[in-house]
């Protein structure tokens, strides 16, 4: 109850921010020792919602933004709006990627790495919710393939570049996985790797929640590996909050309009939803923090399952074996 009241009132936590803080406020207040113009950030899914807001705020600060998107037309529209409304000099690069396709992720990484650019920030933002069972081109359940597997491979293939950039510049690299509080709905006996790949009985909400547990476990295990290597790169997971969308508004009527009005008092705006991502990516307060779970711009608690190091290690091994088997993949030097 106390946490709910804190959320509704927007009371700031130890970081000085809370549920009502916006991405722009967080970015403006980041008295970074690092010039943002020296930073390069890859953001997946930056063609709608909080992904757009994250890209907008980063570009406004002078960060070189790489938008990795499935729809390049939409990505170009985002770029053009930023140039027109925010920063005409913003450096924004567009690359095509389909996170549900392992081959597409591999192509994206090869093309980006071929440019020889540094990489300081990787924001694994893209995500889908599928009401009905769909399979990716790799014959894997679509939600799990997009939300987790694609970002796993993306992170794996870009890891050495991030470590190299941190070593050469002295600037700590930061990886951010987006998760959701809904991850806490998943119990241990419902978290089976093979069932997530190809479920016998599909439930859209369960599949989404399972993918969000996997995102947290991924960050936990990679944080452990990075620490073992003494690498100057961190990885954390964020819960952006439940963000307002136009979905309910598409259904007109007194009841739905009334429910939307009530719900709108509880839901976050896109700018509020992007605040935690921007905080973990840019704030000096997040320096050195790794393997953590954040909500409302403050460190928070995830479920016992999502915090289980043994489960995290097992999931990492299973995922890597799957990807190597599908792509005969080898990490770039």
pLDDT at 5: 52
User: Angle at Cα 96 formed by Cα 92 and Cα 99, nearest 5°?
Assistant: 120
Distances (CA, A) of 109 to 30, 114, 142, 161, 279: 30, 8, 21, 10, 26
Position with higher pLDDT, 21 vs 251: 21
Residue 196 has pLDDT above 50, yes or no: yes
DSSP 219-246: HHHHHHHHHHTT-SEEEEEEE---B--S
Query: Could you read off the pLDDT of 201-239 as tens digits, one per residue?
Result: 999 999 999 999 999 999 999 999 999 999 999 999 999
Least trusted range by pLDDT, from 70-84, 95-109, 247-261: 247-261
SS3 of 172, please?
coil
Annotated active-site residue 202? The verdict is: yes
DSSP 85-125: HT-TT--EEEEE--TT-HHHHHHHHHHHHHTT----EEEE-
pTM of the predicted model over 0.75: yes
Dist. CA 267–CA 242, nearest whole Å:
6
Residue 247 has pLDDT above 50, yes or no: no
Order of all β-strands in the sheet with 121-124: 92-96, 64-69, 40-44, 121-124, 173-178, 233-239, 293-295, 298-300
Dist. CA 44–CA 127, nearest whole Å:
9
Given the residues 202, 279, 293, 329, select the one marked as catalytic. 202
Query: Could you read off the pLDDT of 87-99 as tens digits, one per residue?
Result: 999 999 999 999 9
pLDDT at 35: 82
Residue 333 has pLDDT above 50, yes or no: no
- Which of 30-44, 45-59, 245-259 has the highest average model confidence (pLDDT)? 45-59
Tell me how long the chain is: 333
Confidence of residue 263 (pLDDT cuts 50, 70, 90): low
Position with higher pLDDT, 268 vs 255: 268
Q: What does the pLDDT average to over 94-111?
A: 97
Instruction: Give the dihedral sign, CA 127/133/135/141.
Output: positive
Confidence of residue 4 (pLDDT cuts 50, 70, 90): low
Q: What does the pLDDT average to over 241-270?
A: 57
Percent of the chain clearing pLDDT 70 (strictly above): 88
Return mean pLDDT, the chain: 89
Residue 248 has pLDDT above 70, yes or no: no
């Amino acid at each position: 109850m106390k946490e709910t009241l804190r959320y509704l009132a927007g009371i700031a936590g130890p970081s000085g921010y809370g549920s009502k803080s916006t991405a722009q406020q967080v970015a403006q207040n980041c008295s970074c020792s690092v010039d943002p113009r020296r930073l390069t950030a890859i953001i997946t899914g930056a063609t709608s919602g909080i992904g757009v807001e994250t890209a907008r705020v980063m570009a406004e600060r002078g960060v070189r933004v790489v938008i990795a998107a499935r729809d390049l037309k939409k990505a170009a529209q985002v770029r053009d709006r930023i140039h027109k409304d925010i920063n005409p000099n913003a450096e924004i690069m567009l690359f095509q990627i389909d996170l549900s396709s392992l081959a597409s992720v591999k192509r994206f990484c090869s093309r980006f790495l071929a440019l020889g650019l540094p990489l300081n920030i990787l924001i694994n933002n893209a995500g889908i919710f599928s009401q009905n069972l769909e399979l990716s081109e790799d014959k894997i359940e679509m939600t799990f393939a997009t939300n987790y597997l694609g970002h796993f491979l993306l992170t794996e293939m870009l890891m050495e570049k991030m470590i190299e950039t941190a070593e050469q510049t002295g600037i700590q690299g930061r990886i951010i996985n987006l998760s959701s509080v809904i991850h806490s709905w998943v119990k241990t006996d419902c978290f089976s790797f093979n069932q997530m790949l190809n479920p016998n009985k599909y439930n859209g909400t369960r599949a989404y929640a399972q993918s969000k547990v996997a995102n947290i476990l991924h960050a936990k295990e990679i944080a452990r590996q990075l620490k073992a290597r003494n690498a100057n790169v961190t990885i954390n997971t964020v819960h952006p909050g439940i963000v307002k969308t136009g979905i309910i508004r598409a259904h007109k009527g007194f009841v739905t309009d009334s429910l939307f009005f009530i719900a709108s008092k509880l839901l976050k705006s896109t700018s509020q939803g992007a605040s935690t991502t921007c905080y973990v990516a840019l704030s000096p307060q997040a320096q050195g923090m790794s393997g953590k779970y954040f909500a409302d711009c403050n460190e928070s608690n995830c479920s016992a399952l999502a915090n289980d190091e043994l489960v995290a290690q097992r999931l990492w091994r299973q995922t890597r074996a799957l990807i190597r088997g599908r792509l005969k993949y080898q990490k770039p030097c």
